[in-house]
Amino acid sequence: MRFRGRSYIAFVLTPEAPIFDWLADLDAWIARSAGFFVGKPVVLDVAGLSLSKDAIAHLIAELQTREIRIMGIEGADLLDLGPELPPLLRGGRAANGPLETPALRQETIAARAAQEPGSLLLETPVRSGQSIVFPAGDVTVLGSVSSGAEIIAGGSIHVYGTLRGRALAGSTGNPRARIFCNKVEAELLAIDGYYRTAEDMEPSLRSRPIQAWLQGDVMLIAPLN
Amino acid sequence: MAQVLVVTSGKGGVGKTTTTAALGAALAQQGQTVVVIDFDVGLRNLDLVMGAERRVVFDLVNVIQGVAKLPQALIRDKRLDTLWLLPASQTRDKDALTSNGVARVIAELKQKFDWVICDSPAGIERGATLAMRHADAAVIVTNPEVSSVRDSDRIIGLLDAKTEKAEKGGRVDKHLLITRYDPLRASKGEMLNIDDVLDILSVPLIGVVPESEEVLRASNVGSPVTLCNPSSAAARAYGEAARRLKGENLPVTIPSDKKRLFTRLFGRRAA
């Protein structure tokens, strides 16, 4: 058996005291760039805060409600954090340059349907010229998506009617997002920045139920039946 | 209670003005009091189609700006005395319309008429959004071809978002009217068929008006087709659409291919 080491780039969150104010600032930031942390590796740097184990657990729970999952803790004074908390990380080096954060997104069109955490359900058809932007998760459309309309989702996109417009899944950098639709006549399908236009799609798939997903940097489209 | 109806399409040249005149005249023939308003400021046409172009003194912009009173601008139709026209100005542009002014005029017309029919200009800009603003119901005029259908789809989205009713959480009743339908070309696949259009737009169908020379002739003589030639297929389609607008439950007549009907008749006679 062989064990190998590998290094990754993670976001490091460095809370500042007072934690309550820092969380309020974080909320304001998330409101502008909803879903930015979804699915991203995040490390919590608590150096200089001298927090107790309970306080760290509480802080992690607070972050969890904001859809930020902590994969490791840095700079804790305690050597043993216990099995409930993420492991203590050491030896991290700063990545070259600041990590890419989204520029202020243009005002997302207010989705009319009721919003639930992680998913958006639209019961009416999405008409030409409408743009549904939902970075926080999946979008499900019960009707059709018209030619000239677009759905941009941080997660997967499900269309139970005909998809004639554009569907952009995994827009916040999620290559595991997929697109499902009952009848495909889409102008464009995109997952995590990789896209295919109507012209690059297999003509035999037209008007069929399909799913699209990413394998490496290739988008695959296959019929569902 | 007066109904405010907007006739709209997004795309130009699909038959909004013809439809406004024909539906207005059909409703008036059926005993309703009707006013048709031309919102196409700068490119007015409804006065021509209604045959009232030589009697225009004041217009919608004059009323909005307070130059004239509403009764001074209304023109009564010579053939039907329950049908009235509020013309647009040809010398101004759509910026002359203010949303308060339009709201005031519509509110005043609602007191006097059973039906207030707004003829929307093409496009999705100011003129079109003001025309749909106060609507209770909308007739979406569509030709059976892809560009017209997509533009109609855009307009339906705006009806669900930008109207007063939608902003208060209500819904504008939407009716689809397919015009310039040619059954022969549709059967050859040169034109979208009715089912395709309904599938894309998913709005209830109120009528299918066949492509017809009668419609062009009616426009040229300045008479709504429902008055000019009431027995024509187009006039009958508009008449039935008007009855459906009043809430009657009639099946929609889909124009059929006449040639095939003839061969079938002859076939039977020969046998």
Of A50-64, B91-105, B180-194, where does mean pLDDT reach its minimum? A50-64
Of A95-99, B30-34, B102-106, where does mean pLDDT reach its minimum? A95-99
Tell me what pLDDT residue B121 has.
Answer: 96
Q: Using CA atoms, how far apart are residues B54 and B64, in angstroms rounded to an integer?
A: 22
SS3 (DSSP) at A179: strand
Tell me the mean pLDDT in the region A76-88. 76
Of A55-64, B56-65, B163-172, B230-239, where does mean pLDDT reach its minimum? A55-64
Sheet holding A194-197, edge to edge: A131-134, A150-153, A166-169, A188-191, A194-197
Mutation to test the A interface, candidates B200, B201, B203, most A Cβ within 10 Å:
B200
Average pLDDT along chain A: 83
Q: Does A127 sit within 8 Å of B154, measured CB to CB?
A: yes
> Do B130 and B39 touch, CB atoms closer than 8 A?
yes
Closest Cα in chain B to A144: B200
pLDDT at B268 over 90: no
Tell me what pLDDT residue A111 has.
Answer: 45
pLDDT at B270 over 70: no
Question: Which is more confident, B196 or B256?
Answer: B196
Of B41-45, B91-95, B242-246, where does mean pLDDT reach its minimum? B91-95
Q: Is B151 on the interface with A (CB under 8 A)?
A: yes
Q: Is B156 on the interface with A (CB under 8 A)?
A: yes
Q: Does A162 sit within 8 Å of B154, measured CB to CB?
A: no
CATH of A11-89, one of 3.50.40.10, 3.30.1490.20, 3.40.50.1000, 3.30.70.260: 3.30.70.260
Of A11-20, A58-67, A73-82, A185-194, where does mean pLDDT reach its minimum? A73-82
Closest CA to B245 of B149, B152, B117: B117
Q: Who contacts B198 (Cβ-Cβ below 8 Å, separation ≥6)?
A: B176, B205
Residues of A engaging B, defined by a Cβ cutoff of 8 Å: 124-130, 143-144, 146-149, 162, 164
Question: Which is more confident, A109 or B130?
Answer: B130
Residue ranges of domains in chain A? 11-89, 115-223
Cross-strand bridge partners of residue A122: A141
Tell me what pLDDT residue A109 has.
Answer: 42
Closest CA to A104 of A155, A25, A29: A29
Q: What angle do CA B235, B247, B132 make, to 5 degrees?
A: 80
Confidence of residue A108 (pLDDT cuts 50, 70, 90): very low
Percent of chain B at pLDDT exceeding 90? 86
> Do B207 and B241 touch, CB atoms closer than 8 A?
yes
Contacts of B199 in chain A (CB under 8 A): 162
pLDDT at B198 over 90: yes
Mutation to test the B interface, candidates A109, A126, A141, A146, most B Cβ within 10 Å:
A146
Tell me what pLDDT residue A68 has.
Answer: 85
Q: Does B156 sit within 8 Å of A162, measured CB to CB?
A: no
Tell me what pLDDT residue B266 has.
Answer: 58
Instruction: Please give the single-letter amino acid code of residue B115.
Output: W
Topology (CATH) of A115-223: Pectate Lyase C-like (2.160.20)
Tell me what pLDDT residue B271 has.
Answer: 42
Contacts of B202 in chain A (CB under 8 A): 125, 143-144
* Residue A77 token pair: 């004074």
Q: Does B202 sit within 8 Å of A128, measured CB to CB?
A: no
pLDDT at A6 over 80: no
Q: Does A130 sit within 8 Å of B151, measured CB to CB?
A: no
Q: Who contacts A216 (Cβ-Cβ below 8 Å, separation ≥6)?
A: none
Q: Is B160 on the interface with A (CB under 8 A)?
A: yes
Contacts of A144 in chain B (CB under 8 A): 200, 202
Percent of chain A at pLDDT exceeding 90? 43
pLDDT at A116 over 70: no
SS3 (DSSP) at A74: strand
Confidence of residue A150 (pLDDT cuts 50, 70, 90): very high
Q: Using CA atoms, how far apart are residues B225 and B207, in angstroms rounded to an integer?
A: 15
Q: Does B200 sit within 8 Å of A146, measured CB to CB?
A: yes
Ordered domains of chain B (ranges, CATH) = 3-270 (3.40.50.300)
pLDDT at B48 over 70: yes
pLDDT at B269 over 60: no
Tell me what pLDDT residue A114 has.
Answer: 44
Confidence of residue A121 (pLDDT cuts 50, 70, 90): very high
Minimum-distance CB partner of B153 among A124, A146, A162: A146
Q: Is B195 on the interface with A (CB under 8 A)?
A: no
Contacts of A127 in chain B (CB under 8 A): 153-154, 156-157, 160
Burial class (CB within 10 angstroms; exposed 0-12, middle 13-18, buried 19+) of A80: exposed
Burial class (CB within 10 angstroms; exposed 0-12, middle 13-18, buried 19+) of A163: buried
Tell me what pLDDT residue A107 has.
Answer: 36
pLDDT at B46 over 90: yes
Tell me what pLDDT residue A105 has.
Answer: 36
Q: Using CA atoms, how far apart are residues B229 and B139, in angstroms rounded to an integer?
A: 22
Q: Using CA atoms, how far apart are residues B191 and B206, in angstroms rounded to an integer?
A: 19
Confidence of residue A42 (pLDDT cuts 50, 70, 90): confident
Contacts of B163 in chain A (CB under 8 A): none
Instruction: Please give the single-letter amino acid code of residue B242.
Output: A
Please count the other Cβ atoms lying within 10 Å of the Cβ belonging to residue B81: 10
Closest Cα in chain A to B157: A127
pTM of the model: 0.70
Give the phi and the psi of residue A137 in degrees, each rounded to 5. Answer: 165, -150
Number of H helices, E strands in chain A: 2, 16
Question: Which is more confident, B215 or A115?
Answer: B215
- Quickly list DSSP for chain B: --EEEEEE-SSSSSSHHHHHHHHHHHHHHTT--EEEEE--TTS--HHHHTT-GGG--S-HHHHHTTSS-HHHH-EE-SS-TTEEEEPPPSSS-GGG--HHHHHHHHHHHHHH-SEEEEEPPSSSSHHHHHHHHT-SEEEEEE-SSHHHHHHHHHHHHHHTTSSHHHHTT---EEEEEEEEE-HHHHHTTSS--HHHHHHHH---EEEEEEP-HHHHHHHHHT--HHHH-TTSHHHHHHHHHHHHHTT---PPPPP--HHHHHHHHHHHHH-
pLDDT at B261 over 70: no
The residue behind tokens 């070309």 is B185
pLDDT at A35 over 80: no
Minimum-distance CB partner of A127 among B146, B157, B199: B157
* Residue A207 token pair: 């008007």
Cross-strand bridge partners of residue A189: A167, A196
Percent of chain B at pLDDT exceeding 70? 94
Minimum-distance CB partner of B150 among A125, A130, A148: A148
Contacts of A125 in chain B (CB under 8 A): 202
pLDDT at B237 over 90: yes
Mutation to test the B interface, candidates A112, A128, A130, most B Cβ within 10 Å:
A128
Of A68-72, B51-55, B80-84, where does mean pLDDT reach its minimum? A68-72
> Do B116 and B135 touch, CB atoms closer than 8 A?
no
Tell me what pLDDT residue B28 has.
Answer: 97
Q: Is B167 on the interface with A (CB under 8 A)?
A: no
Q: Is B202 on the interface with A (CB under 8 A)?
A: yes
Tell me what pLDDT residue B80 has.
Answer: 96
Q: Which helix (H) or strand (E) holds A215?
A: strand A210-215
Instruction: Please give the single-letter amino acid code of residue B101.
Output: G
* Residue A172 token pair: 């916040």
pLDDT at A113 over 80: no
Q: Does A127 sit within 8 Å of B160, measured CB to CB?
A: yes
Confidence of residue B93 (pLDDT cuts 50, 70, 90): confident
Q: Does B200 sit within 8 Å of A128, measured CB to CB?
A: no
Confidence of residue B267 (pLDDT cuts 50, 70, 90): low
Q: Is the ipTM of this complex over 0.85?
A: no
pLDDT at A176 over 70: yes
Give the phi and the psi of residue B154 in degrees, each rounded to 5. Answer: -60, -45
Contacts of A146 in chain B (CB under 8 A): 150, 153, 200
